[in-house]
Structure 1
Amino acid sequence: MFQPEFSLPVALPLRFFRIAPIWLALVAILAFSLDESDWQQRFSPSMLAITHLLMLGFVGNIMIGALLQVSAVLAGVRAKNPLFWGSQLWLALQSGTVLLAVGLWQMQLIWLQGAAFILFASLGGLVFWLLIALWRSGVATPLRWAIVGLGLTVLSGTLLVSLLSTGWPTIALHDLLRAHIALGSMGWIVGLIVAVAFTVVPMFLVAPAWPSRLNRYLSLALLATVLAVVLDARLLILLTLPVLSWFLTLLKLLKQSQRRADPARYLWGWGGFNLLLVAVLTPWIDELSALFDTPSQAPVILAGYFLFAGVIPIITAMLAKIIPFLLWMEFRLQVKSGGNLRHMGQLFPERWLRKLAYLSFTMSMSFLPLYLFASKAIPIFLLIYAASLSYCLEKALRVQKKAYFS
């Protein structure tokens, strides 16, 4: 149930949202320094660093900001001093991301150990607190399974650093790597996208509610499937089932949406389709690798497509609805009646989202040919998208502030 009275101070999630495009711009700048061999090797130091800057700095900040806000308004979960604790979490996430990227780029264990400590303490602490708070709230939200996915991602990453530093735990490195990738991409990122979609799609696209059984069990089924894959890579093909169930239902709801011209509708559909496509192709990664001169290109392409064509379109749709809603709700709580801010469309006009959608579609559809024939152009698209997204966020804030004095 939506509980706006428990909404966090808008400055808290916005802090995470606003810094995300900055991280993306940094990734783009660093990517200009990659040579052709770096683009082909997913485990090269520079590619590992850039991957974690993307997943922690860009995607991670957006996901954590959304998680905090959605947990508050759906389950009434918020700290007694949210701005203080939120700022500590924000600082830990940024500093941990910097240390991790430096450690991976230079392959220096001291930086990796510092990053592991900060990220495990901060994100692990967040997971523990959220799970306890959700249990006490008595609200059976699918968010809890995405939170478990985050916790396991952080744990597996910490164990990777421990394995490289001390040789403990006695787990094969490739098995632990597979676990970390599966948990981070499907257990945490896709898990949170699925959980957030249960609220965001019906609410902002004026669509029917998700089927109650799917709402109750799908997130758990997704996490259980990811855990099965962690234990046995031969079960990768099973990942298709929960993602397919989610996507087919998403398509049905989008078809019934009363906001048929809303660009967010197409972004959700396109992003969902590509997440499903990645889930379908992943079990055949060895066969796909045989199609390329350098076999390691296939995992890089699949990971890049996951981000460009799956995650970014959905993130764009989410932010274009969540941010104006938060700003409008904050304004209305302080200005009970009147004022020039009459609806959310004034904060984030549909034409902005349409332009972001065109850019997102262009990036996703051009990723493969650019990667194969003009990899140096990929950072240019990232810079343009980062600047465009940041402009929209900052402009929405300025519109809200201006409304207070009009």
Structure 2
Amino acid sequence: MSGLAFAQAPPPSHPLRFLATSLLWGAVAGAWLLLAGDNLLLSPHAAATLALAHVFTLGLLGNAMLGSLVQFLPVAAGSPLPLARGVAPLHATFNLGVMLLLPAMATHSAACGVLAVPLLLGTLALAAGAVLVAVARGSGARSVRTGIGLAAASLLAALALGAALLSMRLGWLVPARPLTAAHAGFGLLGWVLGLLAAVGGVVMPMLQGVRCIAPAWRWGWLVLLAGLMLAVAADGFGVALPTAGSRGLAALPLLLFASTVIALQRRAPHRRGSMLRRFWALGSVALGGGAFALWLPGHELLAGALLVAVGFPALVLGMAMEITGFLAWIALRRRLPRGVRVPGVGRLFAERHKRRVWWLHAAASLSLALACVLPGLTRLAGALLLLAWLGAAWALWGCWRAASTWHP
């Protein structure tokens, strides 16, 4: 913990608003599955299914990752964001854009699309640009800042491709070539996986007690990921890859990340953060399963669910609870006079509350994976997913309330 620059931490409300909103989007996904039933899990190419996927990728993962960066960059990477005063409007406009995007995708609403595209383009491009400026000016480890910068650049590419795909869907552009694989590659592998790997290289030794990853291995990972992004870009510009080859390219970094997390956890010299370890183990197993499902013909829906709705959310939820505990502790320290002893993070966010959330999330994840094979279980999966994310929101609220009402 000594490497954390708490003096540079932003106001706790800045990252917390993103983290709390991400949990509410998870609940929205569960409610949508509960109400719509198996119509959402019949084809990965159906309009409503694609819209649901963006509830996870933009609403849940997008908010969680932006909120984590607001806190991580200045505190752990020595790279304060240059738009500190714009966090609140950025949060509001981004989530408004997501809300408008869903009917634009699900019902082909041109009116919603006209509003959603500039909102999402503006807010995410601004956020990615601010991240790139921050890591360029920062003083933290160069490999970490390079990894975050590569993730931000991938977000820009995914954003441009997503705008083009939506324009084609709404009839504004004539479809020239299939861009879906390139959009998903830049978004899920470059942005989401790339950022999790960069941040994980710092927080896993700090919060889970694993061995530090050697710089050579970090740079090797970055070279692999950069090469994969070049292959994705080539595919998007018409240099078509064989289907088996493109699936193998997508599965390779997922398998490498998942196996590395599990191996580091099993060989950790100082095991701590037991519930964070469980969330990352659950997420890594799901990512590995999703990578294998990519190779199975006709299992694209299962692969997408394991990656987008189970694996990545488990990783970011575990981190969100850890970050919330630190945010509550920072807020309590700032509220009380200097010299007053404050309770530790573990007392503000008890392990038993995290354990309850983990079990709810594990049950919801298993039921969702089964529903991809047995669509009759979709409503059950939706109910469990709704309960799991509402339970997570309640646990985070309890932690924040404990810090807000604590007195010496």
Q: Note whether the superposition's TM-score is higher than 0.5.
A: yes
RMSD: 2.3
Q: Does 1:195 align with 2:198?
A: yes
| Cα deviation, residue 43, structure 1 | 2.5
Counterpart for residue 329 of structure 1? 330
Structure 2 stretches lacking a partner, 5+ long: none
| Ranges of 4+ aligned residues in structure 1 off by more than 6 Å | none
Q: How many residues align?
A: 390
Query: How far 1:72 sits from its partner (Å)?
Result: 1.8
The amino acid of 1:126's aligned partner reads A
Cα deviation, residue 52, structure 1: 1.4
264, 274, 286: which is aligned to 1:262? 274
1:3 deviates by: 2.7
Counterparts in 2 of 1:225 and 1:44: CA distance versus 1, 3 Å: same
3-state DSSP class of the match of 1:77? Answer: coil
Percent sequence identity over aligned pairs:
23
Residue 324 (structure 1) shift? 0.5
Alpha-carbon displacement from aligned partner over 1:86-134 (angstroms, at most 9, x marks no partner): 0111011111001101211221223123211111111011112221232
* Match status 1:47 vs 2:52: no
**Alignment-derived partner of residue 94 in structure 1:** 95
TM-score by length of 2: 0.88
- CA shift at 1:220, angstroms? 4.4
1:205-224 equivalences under 5 Å are 205-224=208-227
- Structure 1 residue 201: deviation in Å? 0.9
Find 1:271's aligned residue among 268, 280, 283.
283
Give yes or no for the alignment of 1:78 onto 2:80.
yes
| 1:278-334 deviation per Cα after TM superposition (whole angstroms, max 9, x unaligned) | 22331x24x2x1xxxxxxxx2222211213431232123212211112221333345
C-alpha separation in 1, matches of 2:334 and 2:211: 28
- Give the corresponding residue for 2:354: 353
Contact 2:290 2:302 (C-alpha < 8 Å) held by counterparts: no
Question: Contact 1:24–1:383 at 8 Å: present in 2 too?
Answer: yes
Q: Distance in 2 between matches of 1:299 and 1:252?
A: 27
Distance 1:377 1:227 in 2: 41
Return the alpha-carbon distance in structure 2 between the equivalents of residues 318 and 37 of structure 1. 32
Q: Which residue of 2 aligns with 1:154?
A: 159
Instruction: Output the amino acid matched with 2:184.
Output: I
For 2:57 and 2:189, locate their aligned partners in 1 and report how far apart those are by CA, in whole Å: 12
CA contact (8 A) 1:160 1:177 kept: yes
TM-score when normalising by structure 1: 0.88
Structure scoring higher RCO (CA < 8 A, sep ≥ 6) equals: 2
d(CA) in 2 for partners of 1:273, 1:326: 29
Identify the range of structure 1 (109-118 vs 257-266) with the bigger mean alpha-carbon deviation.
Answer: 257-266
Q: Are the counterparts in 1 of residues 279 and 317 from structure 2 also a CA contact under 8 Å?
A: yes
- 1:380 equivalent among 353, 358, 383: 383
Q: Aligned with 2:113: secondary structure?
A: helix
Structure 1 unpaired stretches of 5+: 290-297
